[in-house]
Structure 1
Amino acid sequence: MGFLDSLQSALQGGQQGGGSNLLADALTSVGGYQGVLAMLQKSGLGDRVESWLSTNASNLPIAPDEIKAALGDQRLQQLASQFGIPLDQLAGVLAQH
């Protein structure tokens, strides 16, 4: 899952992790990778999720506002706190990666 590696790198500010999987640890609080993907699918973004997981298609884009709508403010605040980045930047980082 290359996009998850890219996302983790972006959330760590490009720093190498010290053996701990920051992304997996943070996502545990919101249901893990599968929980986040399920929230996106329930929000009508299933075609995009499928494009990210498929090796046969290019990744379809997602907008920061779509991330916000799918995950909700409370979950985004929780993730922003865990990653140590401002809330207003988190949805943009997630949308890019």
Structure 2
Amino acid sequence: MTAAGPLPRDRRVAAIRAALQAAFAPTALEVRDDSHRHAGHAGAQDGRGHFDVEIASEAFAGLSPLARHRAVYDALGDLMVTDIHALSIRARTPAGD
């Protein structure tokens, strides 16, 4: 993916899901667009959105919470620049840790 510009709003959740599916083969994945809750927020004026991700994957086994978050950011690549202003992440293993 290249930083060509933001996707249409209705395609962002699908793009986030696809990137996380490809990187982690998660056993559980929920992506929610919470941008509507931040209307008028100064950081939302550039058109990027606020998202909430809950993901469970064996790929997170043995990783610290910070390393899990970094892995998610890396998997999202340019979406972090073009489409995502804020991202809430809950990354765990399928066992729940």
- TM-score after normalising by structure 1: 0.38
Which entry has the higher C-alpha Rg, 1 or 2?
Answer: 2
Task: Write 1 or 2 for the structure with the bigger share of helix.
Answer: 1
- TM-score after normalising by structure 2: 0.38
